[in-house]
Amino acid sequence: MSNSALIAIAALFAAAAVPAGAEQWDVTKDKSLVVHRLAATDLRMTVVCDPEGAFSPPQNYLFVERRGQRVETGQLTVSEGDDTVNLPIIGAAAVPTGNVENWNTAMDMLFGGRGVNVAVGDVAAQLQAESLANVCTAR
């Protein structure tokens, strides 16, 4: 085997051993709302936050698309290690109302910069999203 072939094989093994970079949250502002978007293979999430409480009540939402279709009803499961929380999706959105503790835990996981698993129905993804200050805390 030639040296160039050995180098190419070594490079492939080295690339496979390095974890992929963190997904990047696409963050935009719309009026006083902060909109976070993240895509992973067959799953896309949009988290809309009202960090300054500009609206009453504060407007915090999470929208999910599975294979390009908005999820209208179901459940988003977010897990990190042994911790798992479920956010019900009703009318195409998960909201913190009536589920504040799970909402805040899910937001900490999603914006914490650590590896998390997310699932909706039969679609699951492992995310290693960049760490961002959690502006989506519900009260």
Per-residue pLDDT 10s for the chain (139 aa) are 443 332 333 333 333 333 345 578 899 998 889 999 998 878 999 999 998 888 988 899 999 999 999 999 999 999 999 999 999 999 999 999 999 999 999 999 999 988 999 999 989 999 887 888 877 888 8
pTM: 0.80
Neighbours of 21 (CB within 10 A): 8
Residues 47, 137: Cα–Cα separation, whole Å? 12
Helices within the chain (DSSP H only) = 3-17, 100-111
